[in-house]
Amino acid sequence: MKAVLDHVGIAVKDLAAALAFYRDALGLEVETPEEVASQRVRAHFLPVGDAKLELLEATAPDSPIARYTDKRGPGLHHITLRVDDIHAALAQLSARGARLIDEQPRPGAEHSLVAFIHPASAHGVLVELKQSAPVSSQSPAPGPDLAVRRYALGDLELVSVSDGLIRLDGGAMFGTVPKVMWETKAPPDARNRITLAMRPLIVRGARTMLIDAGLGGKDSGKFHDIYGVDRTRSLDATMAEAGVTPDEIDIVLASHLHFDHAGGFTYRDAAGRIRPTFPRAQYIVRRGEWEDATHTHERNRASYLADNYLPLAEAGVLQMVDEDATIMPGVKVQRTGGHCRHHQIVLIESKGKTAAFVADLMPTTAHLPDAWIMGFDLYPMDTLAAKKQFVKDAIERETLVFFEHDPAVAAGYIRETDGKRAVVNL
């Protein structure tokens, strides 16, 4: 691993006094301070050659920097080494028995990814690794990437799988946003369709849960032509790759019952009968969504295909939830409405770390700006309100956000600088 010194972090108690020394007496230049809201820290960088000094100032009494200076007084806090591939660096360190504070990288300043190594493994020094990360929403759309990805979240394991790709009308995907604005982020094909992924999520904890199941394999022919279906990376194939068999799934949870989320809930057997795909699972659906899916109207009918969910009730594996509730330890559902009246997202939490599966609240990273709302949504103003609240919370809590339909990004952290949002991929 090649590592270069990025900066040296110094915890300060009295910023004015520290600046009087480092800026005025030493004559170093101070860059514009950077706020790290989740750590309740303001960072002041002073370039020294190729590296920097970082003066760390607590912005609240419960900041880790405040606790540090209260205990030990101001002083050297950490050193930061920049690496090309932080995942590889962490793997190498843990293979050699180093104690890691962060087993997987988290978002740092300037859209970087960072991870701390415990001082016990670094001879008394807190060492931070840093990788300058590509930022998805600022670079032109990358090609699809449906690799299986695993994430540790406290005691839980999250496994991002896929049910392949689907193409939907680009205009419908971005609502009132003009094509001249979205076409660079989501390039349309000759029929004006953009490529979207279907990414169900497996949560392994007290039980094994699958959230949504993609399109499934019951349809073909005309349907596949209209929606440009490509199930090369199907749920069967990616679950097998992830080492999870269908009968390991205890719970299947639905964000809502649209065909690109619930299609994989059932399959057609050799005799032509439609059955639940996951033989041991209880399927959990919000009651309001079930009511809407079984009483469709002209505006939502094309999205609800009864074969995806009626057979669950017939098989006796359907379980309804009436309101926001904990589904298994660390996993709860929260209604957002907007996209459809009872659309819900899934909030996951373990040992103080949070993740969220946002389904069609923000289907892709291109939907980060508040006004980028799908034309499909039945109640777009409700989407707007739910999105504003969600993004605010996600930034504050450093939530790992799973984007179900993004063709290239399975999950990342949302950052906001001067009102502009971006996702740091993970």
Neighbour-count burial for 269-305, b at 16+ CB within 10 Å, e otherwise:
eeeeebbbbbeebbbbbbebbbebbeeeeeebeebbb
Would you say 11 or 166 has its CB closer to Zn ion?
166
Would you say 45 or 227 has its CB closer to Zn ion?
227
Distance in Å, CB of 305 to Zn ion, minimum: 12
Would you say 22 or 376 has its CB closer to Zn ion?
376
Would you say 131 or 344 has its CB closer to Zn ion?
344
Reading the block at residue 146, the tokens are: 């449906």
Distance in Å, CB of 271 to Zn ion, minimum: 30
Residue 312 CA to residue 279 CA, distance in Å, equals: 11
Residue length, the chain? 426
Would you say 128 or 377 has its CB closer to Zn ion?
377
Distance in Å, CB of 303 to Zn ion, minimum: 6
In sequence order, what are the residues at sequence separation of 6 or more whose Cβ sits closer than 8 angstroms to the Cβ of residue 103? 90, 94, 115, 152
Provide φ and ψ at 315, rounded to 5°: -85, -5
Binding site for Zn ion (CB under 5 A): 258, 260, 360
User: 371 and 391 in contact (C-beta within 8 Å)?
Assistant: no
Distance in Å, CB of 3 to Zn ion, minimum: 42
Would you say 28 or 172 has its CB closer to Zn ion?
172
The β-bridge relationship of strands 400-402 and 41-48 is unpaired
Q: What Cα–Cα distance (Å) separates residue 369 from each residue in 101, 416, 421?
A: 33, 10, 7
Would you say 74 or 175 has its CB closer to Zn ion?
175
Reading the block at residue 221, the tokens are: 């022919």
Residue 165 CA to residue 171 CA, distance in Å, equals: 18
9 half-sphere exposure, CB direction, 13 A CA radius = 22
Residue of minimal Cβ distance to Zn ion = 258
Distance in Å, CB of 249 to Zn ion, minimum: 21
Distance in Å, CB of 175 to Zn ion, minimum: 14
Distance in Å, CB of 260 to Zn ion, minimum: 5
